[in-house]
Structures are given as structure tokens and as C-alpha cells.
Amino acid sequence: TPKMEQKLRSQTKFNRRQSIEERAHGDIKYKSEKKKSKVLNALAETTSIKMEKRFMYEFEQLCEIDCQDENVTNKDRFKYLFTSKGFKLDDPRIKDIIDVVDELEEDQDIDFDIFKELIRPISTFFRDILQNNLSLKDIESFSKSTREIFEKHNLEAPKGSMAKYLSETSNANQDDFAASICTVDGQRIELGSSDSLVSLQQISSVVSYLIALEQHGQESLSKYIGTEPSGKSFDNLELKEGIPHNPLISSGNLLCCSLINQKETIDRKYEKYAKVVEKMIGAKVSFNNSVYLNQKERAHRNFCLLYMLEEAGTLPEDADVKEIMNFFTQTTSIEMKVSDYSVMAATLANGGICPLTDENVFSDSEAIKGTLSQMLCCGMNTFSGKWAFDVGLPAKSSTTGMTILVIPNKMGIAVWSPRLNKDSNSVRGQKFLCELIDTFGFNDIDHVYGAGLMKKMLVNLSFKGTHNNDSINLLYYAKQNKLREMRKAVAQG
């Protein structure tokens, strides 16, 4: 529509002008405003010519895309370019642009002028897709192999039992199975019932610990919470020298909730907490009131843990046990899709930057590092030690049957199946993740020792090209002030 087109044009013009002004100002001192204006105009003209040439080249590449259809249009090619690389058309970065394409007249195709206006706001992102400068370069082969692993475990006779105390699992189909993958670039793979809604429950401990770390720092937080695996069930009635063993068990999660936004009212606490989760997944969350009421009714064990913490003098001064419990139960009752959990994990893999919005949700890199370390050694309940030995990657499970896995600098994975084993982990979820990691060799320790690498599938997850090209890329990203790409390039060596 004209309104949307005007919005795209004005935003692009502002961004381009701002970039030119930043280049012109620098450390240069001008004799007069007239001279400065002349330099700005010259820079604008030069930049415009360069952009025009680059857009023409990219438009020619778009027109050459083969969609295996004789009647294909540039509109079809434009959408196909994103979907073929694993990007969903409702991705926040391209949703408005796709809406503009959909609103074009039926007999109107994307010509060069329309193409320029469409890609200006996402020019760098679009160029990375065209050049296949992405985390998963051959996403088709990766998706096929991942689907085969998924189907293999989906066909197996289901084992394990449901968590009886959770109302949502008692009403769920015990044979449900879903998996979702999101790379740090935002490429997506979804298998099974990935649109199913699942409440946070124990996975809320990851978010709570991250927020507490950002607000208080590791040194201050270590006075309240340990960092050791407990070796016992997540809700065990035991403290270590008056403090929880680690932040990912129930007592640790409760204590984190007592430290988050301490001066705020409980409604503001929840509002801010939910906002953080929404930033992590790049989408809205919902609240499951029936889960909340059910959890409040069965909160006896958690109340016991809180009173143990209060007796040990570990809770903050003037802390209200009932208010802490109320807030804690609210956080565990936040509900989102299985596919959203993979984006949450990808945000952790991406150093706290949401891959779908490029928003820096957690600016403290030490908070991310500390959380991932705890997920590695304490995230899989009483199976945590064996998990760290066999898989060697950060993960967190929940009694809903949800498990999230973080592959730093690469991707986040979520898998959901309600049947649990004796360690309170998803039976099929745990098997699926173990086989997936073993198949593709994502464990960095394997690369150090070369353990069975010849038997593993080779998946290129880093930049192609020589070290010289990598250095040039890094300098280019620095010039463009693209922190996300710089961090990724450095992380890839």
C-alpha cells in the first residue's frame, strides 16, 4: 500500500543519511558549513551510485533463481529465496516486506525499482542470504537427516510416565512429540507438533538466573546460591550450608525470584519478567491460568523450601514468602510454542542477542557464560553428570517433557515429549538430542581429540573462505557497526 511504501522509503532514507553523516563527521574539521554540506552531498552521491550497482547485481541474481516452475514470477522467487534458506515468512525482520509483496497487484511483478525499496531496510541481511553466508549452508541436507532421526524415535514404542502433578501434562497426549531448531542467523526447522503450547516450569530457572545475574552480578549472587550439582532430584528438601546447591533446582529458582526487581510490586515484577521472555523469543507469550492455579494449590513442597531458606537466613531482608511463591508460580505458568523455545535457546547461543530481532536482550556476556556453565553441569537433573560426559553441551529439562539445548555460536534446539524417565527428563527428547549431537559432531571436545570425526556427517557451520577473507569481513562489520556479526566472526576464530 502507499502508506507502507512511504514508511519503507522514509526509514531507508533516514538510515542512509545517518550513515553518511557518521562517516562525514568523524575526526574531520571543516572550515565552514558550506564545505561540510558539499562533502556530505558528494558522499551521498557516491554512496547512492555504489548502492545502485550492488542492487542491480542482486536483482539479477534474484531473477536467475530457479524455482523449478516455468510460470514463476519474481514475487515467487523473492519468497522462495527466504524459505529455501530456512527463514519463515513471519520472521520479524522480513514480515512487513513480505506483506508489501503480498499486497502488490496480481499482474504486478517485482521490477528493479520495487526491488530496491524492498531490500533497502535489510540490505546486509539480504546479501548474506544471497551469498549463503549463514550458519547452516546446506539446510536441505541437514533438515533431511534431522527429520530421519526424529521419525526414527517417533516410531519407537513410547516409554516412561507423565508428571502426575502437572495439570497440563495429565490432559496432554502422552505420545506427542515435537522438535524445533533455530540457528543464530534465524534459520528454522520444525518437526512434529511444534505449535503446541508448553509452560515454562523448570526452564524458568534459566531466565530467572540470567535476570538475577544481570541485576546483582556473580560475586554478589554467590552469597545466596551455589554453583554445584546437587546429585539429587530438582525439588529435594536440602540446602548446602544454608544456600541452594545451584540456581537450576527449585530452591535456587525460588531464591532467584526473591532477588529479581526487589523494589517492584508483584504485578510489575511479572510484567518485566514476561517482557524479557518475549524479547528472547521475538514473539508474544501467553499465561496459562489453570496451570497457575494448579501450581498454587500444590505448592506445599516449594513453601517448605522457602521456609528452609528463611530459617537459614538466606532470603533477602523483608522478603515475603507468600509473595515470592506467587511470583515464582507466575513465572512457571508462562506459556509459549515449542518453536519459541528453540529461539530462546538460540538467543543464549548468540550471546544474548535474539536471532529474529537482533535485539541485545542480555548485555552482560558474563551472565550468559555463567548460565550456560550451570546448564552444562546442572541442567539435566540427576542425569547431569552423564549428560556433560556424553553430550558436553548446555541443556535444561522440565517435567513438562520440554528440553532446550544450546550449541554456542551455532544454534538452539528444543524438543518436547511428555513421557519422563527416572531422572525426570523426556525419554524421547533425551534420545533424540543425544543422537543428533553424535551424528553431526556438534560437541567441540570431539573436534579437539578427533573422536570419531570420520564417522560423523560434515556440516559447515562457519564462514567459508580463507583467513584473509575472514579478516576483511571483520573489518567490514566493524565499519558498519554490526556488533552481532563481529561477535560471530570472532567466536568462529
Q: What is the pLDDT of residues 104-130, one digit of tens each?
A: 988 899 999 999 999 988 988 999 999
How far is 213 from 447, CA to CA, in rounded Å? 31
Q: Would the pLDDT of 362 be above 80?
A: yes
| Conformational region of residue 313, where left means phi above 0, alpha means psi within -120 to 50, and beta covers everything else | left
Summarize pLDDT for 225-256 with one digit per residue, the tens. Answer: 999 999 899 999 999 999 999 999 999 999 99
- Burial of residue 416 (number of CB atoms within 10 Å: 0-12, 13-18, 19+): buried
How far is 303 from 299, CA to CA, in rounded Å? 6
Q: Would the pLDDT of 451 be above 50?
A: no
295 versus 452: which is more confidently predicted? Answer: 295
How far is 178 from 4, CA to CA, in rounded Å? 37
**Considering the chain, what is the average pLDDT of its residues?**
86
pTM of this prediction? 0.83
Indicate the residue type of 342.
Answer: S
Q: 448 pLDDT band (50/70/90 cuts)?
A: low
- Burial of residue 61 (number of CB atoms within 10 Å: 0-12, 13-18, 19+): middle
Summarize pLDDT for 265-280 with one digit per residue, the tens. Answer: 999 999 999 999 999 9
> pLDDT over 90 for what percent of the chain?
65
Summarize pLDDT for 9-59 with one digit per residue, the tens. Answer: 555 544 544 454 444 455 555 556 666 666 666 666 666 777 788 889 899
C-alpha cell at 198: 508448553
The pLDDT assigned to 144 comes to 95
Summarize pLDDT for 290-323 with one digit per residue, the tens. Answer: 999 999 999 999 999 999 999 999 999 889 999 9
Q: Would the pLDDT of 282 be above 70?
A: yes
The pLDDT assigned to 65 comes to 87
